[in-house]
Amino acid sequence: ILSHLIINENQDVILTDLDSLWINSPLNDISIHSASSSIVSSRAWWPHELWSVWGATLCMGFIYFKADEFSKYFVNKIYLTMSDNINNYRKVDDQITANEELYKNQIEWFDKPMSVGNNAIANIGSISYNNMSYSITLLPHYKYIRNCNNLTDYTNRNEKKSRFNDIVILHCKYNRKVTRNLVFTFFKNWTLSITQANKLIKELNQYNHNKNVDYKSKNQMELDKL
C-alpha cells in the first residue's frame, strides 16, 4: 500500500524486506541501471512456473521502481490485484502477482537463458505499455544473493573476505536458523570448518529440496492458468 501511495506522488520507491541484509550500499547500482530501466530488481526463482520458463524471476525482497508511467501502472496493478483477491493466497503474494503481470504483458528477456547462480552480469527485459517500450533490469545474483548455497564453497580466509566485499544485498531464502548460522559463522568470524560447511550445505540443500518437491507438480498447472 505504501509503495502504491508513494509512487503516485511521483517519488521513486525502493522496496526491501526486513531480512535483506545491506552488506554494501546498492545506490550506485540503482543509479546506473535506472538511467535506462523503469524497474531494477534482485532475482529469485519464485514463482517456480515462471522461473522454469525464464530462468529467473523478479524478487520483491529488493526492488526499485522509478516513478515513470510504466512503474506507476505496474505498482498500481499489483496493489489492485492483491486488494481484489484477498482470499486467494496466490494473488496476495506480491512476487507472484508481479511476475505474472510481466508474463501476461509478454516481457521479452534478452540474453536468455537467465539463472539464479553466480552470474556477474545484469539481465535486461523489454515490455510495452501504451505504445512505449520500457526496460526492466535483473541485478546480478553474484552481488544480490538469494540462493546462499554456494557461499559455503570458500574455505580460504582471504577468499571469504574478498567474496564478502563483492556482496551488496544478502537475502537468503532459508529458515532463520540456517541463515543466522551462515551469516555469523561465515562472514562475521571469517571461519568455517569443513565439517561446519558440509553441515550447512546439507541443511540448505535439504530445505531447498523439500520446497521444490512441494511446488514442482504445481508449476505447469499454474502456468496454464495465466
Lowest-confidence range among 35-39, 49-53, 136-140, 207-211?
Answer: 207-211
Q: pTM for the complete prediction?
A: 0.78
For the ranges 13-22, 82-91, 142-151, the one whose mean pLDDT is highest = 13-22
Residue-level pLDDT at 165 = 77
Please compute the mean of the pLDDT values over residues 89-114 and round it to a whole number: 89
Distance CA 202, CA 9 (A): 47
The mean pLDDT value of the chain amounts to 81
Instruction: Identify the residue whose cell numbers are 547500482.
Output: 29
Whether the CB-CB separation of 92 and 151 falls below 8 Å is answered with no
DSSP notation for 87-113: T-TTTT-HHHHHHHHHHHTT-EESSPS
pLDDT higher at 125 or 146? 125
Q: How far apart are CA 32 and CA 25, in angstroms?
A: 13
- State what percent of residues in the chain have pLDDT above 90: 50
